[in-house]
């Protein structure tokens, strides 16, 4: 049984090109057709095999037979993809008789088992012997990429690219070069803008009854205070820019800006516009994301300026595995109304929230729930309240390439004082339902259908209302 091992040693030049064509590659293309992959300098290549043959000839027939059995066992593990079992056997063989094939097998096993240092060492040793082993250089580039050594990976790929490989190999080189470009980018941005038509059953969140029981008698509402329905136009713009300060999985700086505008056809006094800008540092790890955005909001209601809001929103999310994460957040905001008659609405808000999220079936189903506690401290007690908040959302893909979002939220607000015209402290219980169906066309165009329903039940009938909204939007995203 000496022949198989001697054959490997003597015929290593030919065997390498054949083996390289048979072994699965990170580039998943047969390379034996790439002539440069087998154009090694025979004297240099044979020098390595002469050393192996000399070592083999010094061994007893029994030792050679045992070595041949060990090689057969290692190859069985290798082709069964049991690389962790094959690697120590190949290393034992290399300690006695090391051929180019053994080096390659060691490098591949080390790469498959995450031992990047050992893989790099083996592939570099082969390239010292024969710099034109381009298949080996491609494998080396793959290991460098997985280790995050993108400059080295790019250098190896460009070296092979300069040898004018066949088109299938060139395509895979271009893909990995593009992946390196993406991984080493410093600035990332996104932009989305949409506009659409809106139907709103209750533009002013008014009650459905004209006559309401209040302290000391009956209150009769005018037409503008009752529930009013209208149609309108909506516009929504959002932009995001993230700059990677250092190495990937480290510090970043994120800035976002958004504009939402709602304009009614018949009741423009209830138009609404919100402009928000936030910026702050992020820290991104393999399983953790920490964000500290600070921002300011500006709001208009009707044709008047309504308020400015300063807000800070630190939050931390930990990914236990690819299918489960938990995010904790704290929100502080300070709101100042422009009109002096609304000064009692000025407030500071504190909100604490926990949000677990499940990502199922390769993120085709995303389920998120949250529990929060919110405290609003306004200048007037009748606008101050505390409330627990609960909610859940579900995102999935449905037929015809569409995405479906379903959401529900509940809260129960306990106000610190009675509202005007009432004697008991105000209590509101609200149920909010939201559904959206969206689809992308081509790469940058999308449309969506949105439905919303709010049911607010209050012990002060003036604040009891139902509201239903429908909207259809078309937009672009980049």
At residue 55, the pLDDT reads 77
Task: Note whether 177 and 308 are same-domain residues.
Answer: no
Residue 419 DSSP code: P
Task: Note whether 57 and 114 are same-domain residues.
Answer: yes
Residue 17 maps to which CATH number? 1.25.40.10
Is the separation of the CB atoms in 357 and 324 below 8 Å? yes
At residue 195, the pLDDT reads 98
Phi, psi (deg, nearest 5) at residue 161: -60, -35
At residue 68, the pLDDT reads 86
At residue 24, the pLDDT reads 32
174 sits in which H/E element: helix 167-183
Nearest residue to 389 (alpha-carbon basis) of 335, 331, 430: 430
At residue 46, the pLDDT reads 54
Residue 285 maps to which CATH number? 2.40.160.40
Question: Which of 183, 207, 231 finishes a domain?
Answer: 183
Task: Note whether 93 and 241 are same-domain residues.
Answer: no
Is the separation of the CB atoms in 55 and 26 below 8 Å? no
At residue 98, the pLDDT reads 86
Task: Note whether 144 and 218 are same-domain residues.
Answer: no
Task: Note whether 177 and 206 are same-domain residues.
Answer: no
Is the separation of the CB atoms in 211 and 219 below 8 Å? yes
Task: Note whether 408 and 351 are same-domain residues.
Answer: yes
At residue 328, the pLDDT reads 98
- Counted domains in the chain: 2
Task: Note whether 173 and 208 are same-domain residues.
Answer: no
Question: Which of 126, 148, 183 finishes a domain?
Answer: 183
Task: Note whether 33 and 136 are same-domain residues.
Answer: yes
Phi, psi (deg, nearest 5) at residue 243: -115, 125
The list of the chain residues with pLDDT below 70 reads: 1-49, 247-248
Task: Note whether 153 and 217 are same-domain residues.
Answer: no
Task: Note whether 172 and 214 are same-domain residues.
Answer: no
Question: Which of 183, 218, 240 finishes a domain?
Answer: 183
At residue 313, the pLDDT reads 98
Task: Note whether 472 and 353 are same-domain residues.
Answer: yes
What gap in Å lies between CA 280 and CA 245, rounded to an integer? Answer: 12
What Cα–Cα distance (Å) separates residue 462 from each residue in 195, 212, 220, 424?
33, 7, 10, 13
**Domain residue limits at 412:** 192-477
Task: Note whether 50 and 172 are same-domain residues.
Answer: yes
């Amino acid at each position: 049984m000496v022949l198989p091992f001697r054959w490997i040693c003597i015929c290593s030049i030919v065997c390498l090109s054949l083996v390289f064509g048979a072994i699965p590659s990170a580039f998943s293309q047969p390379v034996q057709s790439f002539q440069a992959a087998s154009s090694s300098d025979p004297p240099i290549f044979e020098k390595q095999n002469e050393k192996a043959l000399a070592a083999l000839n010094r061994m007893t027939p029994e030792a050679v037979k045992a070595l041949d059995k060990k090689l057969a066992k290692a190859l069985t593990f290798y082709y069964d993809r049991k690389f962790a079992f094959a690697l120590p056997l190949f290393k034992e063989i290399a300690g006695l008789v090391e051929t180019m094939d053994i080096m390659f097998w060691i490098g591949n096993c080390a790469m498959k088992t995450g031992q990047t240092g050992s893989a790099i060492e083996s592939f570099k040793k082969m390239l010292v012997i024969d710099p034109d082993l381009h298949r080996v250089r491609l494998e080396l580039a793959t290991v460098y990429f997985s280790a995050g050594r993108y400059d080295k990976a790019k250098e190896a790929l460009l070296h092979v690219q300069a040898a004018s490989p066949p088109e299938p190999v060139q395509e895979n080189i271009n893909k990995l070069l593009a992946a390196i470009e993406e991984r080493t980018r410093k600035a990332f941005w996104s932009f989305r803008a949409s506009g659409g038509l809106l139907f709103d059953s209750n533009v002013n969140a008014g009650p459905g009854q004209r006559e309401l029981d209040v302290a000391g008698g009956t209150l009769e509402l005018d037409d503008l205070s009752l529930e009013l329905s209208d149609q309108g136009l909506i516009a929504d713009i959002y932009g995001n820019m993230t700059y990677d300060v250092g190495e990937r999985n480290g510090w970043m700086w994120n800035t976002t800006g958004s504009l939402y505008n709602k304009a009614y056809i018949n009741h423009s006094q209830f138009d609404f516009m919100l402009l928000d800008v936030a910026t702050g540092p992020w820290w991104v790890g393999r399983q953790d994301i920490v964000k500290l955005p600070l921002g300011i909001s500006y709001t208009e209601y009707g044709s008047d300026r309504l308020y400015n809001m300063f807000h800070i929103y630190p939050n931390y999310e930990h990914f236990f595995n690819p299918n489960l994460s938990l995010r904790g957040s704290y929100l502080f905001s300070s709101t100042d109304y422009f009109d002096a008659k609304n000064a009692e609405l000025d407030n500071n808000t504190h909100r604490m929230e926990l949000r677990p999220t499940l990502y199922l079936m390769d993120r085709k189903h995303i389920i998120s729930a949250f529990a929060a506690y919110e405290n609003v401290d306004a200048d007037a007690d009748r606008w101050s309240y505390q409330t627990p908040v609960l909610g859940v959302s579900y995102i999935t893909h449905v037929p015809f390439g569409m995405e479906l979002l379903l959401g529900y939220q509940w809260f129960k607000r306990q106000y610190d004082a009675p509202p005007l015209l009432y004697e008991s402290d105000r209590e509101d219980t609200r149920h909010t339902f939201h559904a959206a169906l969206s689809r992308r066309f081509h790469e940058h165009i999308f449309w969506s259908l949105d439905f919303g329903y709010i049911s607010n039940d209050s012990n002060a009938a003036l604040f009891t209302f139902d509201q239903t909204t429908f909207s259809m939007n078309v937009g672009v995203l980049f």
